[in-house]
Amino acid sequence: MRPQEITQTGTGITAWIPVNYRQSPFNIGFGAVIVSGTATYSVQHTFDDIYDPAVTPVAFDNANATAQTANKDGNYMFPVRAIRVNVTAGAAPVVKLTLLQGANA
């Protein structure tokens, strides 16, 4: 998977970033950066098919990146289908989420 970046300006939720849940090892590193303003945000993931219009994906907060108010990095060692960022509060918040997934050589 190529590096993926998505930015949320203001409070709200980004689109889902689909990831390759079939890759083994799965190994995704993420970095969430408050680009400007102040922000409270969570990195979220889902196990649901985000492409199926009959499914409303259930979002789960990453246990180590919930209600963050500073830059945060972390990882997903086990498969999920998609990842996003949810900005819940702040003063003129802009939060960028970057995902990097390792690949077998």
Segment 38-50, tens digit of pLDDT:
999 999 999 999 9
In a domain, 99, yes or no: no
pLDDT in tens, 56-95: 999 999 999 999 999 999 999 999 999 999 999 999 999 9
In a domain, 40, yes or no: yes
pLDDT at position 2: 85
CA angle 56, 7, 77 (to 5 degrees): 65
In a domain, 49, yes or no: yes
pLDDT at 34 over 60: yes
In a domain, 70, yes or no: yes
pLDDT at 103 over 80: no
In a domain, 68, yes or no: yes
In a domain, 101, yes or no: no
pLDDT at position 102: 84
Sheet strands (E) in 10-93: 12-13, 17-18, 28-36, 40-46, 60-61, 72-76, 82-89
Q: Which domain holds residue 78?
A: 4-92
Domain count, the chain: 1
pLDDT at position 104: 65
What is the mean pLDDT of the segment spanning 35-40?
Answer: 98
In a domain, 48, yes or no: yes
pLDDT at position 74: 98
For 43, 60, 88, 89, the CA distances from 11, given in Å and listed in that order, are 14, 18, 5, 6
Task: Quote the pTM value.
Answer: 0.94
pLDDT at position 60: 98
DSSP letters of 17-29? EE--TT-SS--EE
In a domain, 26, yes or no: yes
Pairwise CA distance, residues 74 & 54, whole Å: 31
Closest CA to 81 of 101, 103, 104, 54: 101
For 34, 48, 61, 69, the CA distances from 22, given in Å and listed in that order, are 30, 14, 21, 32
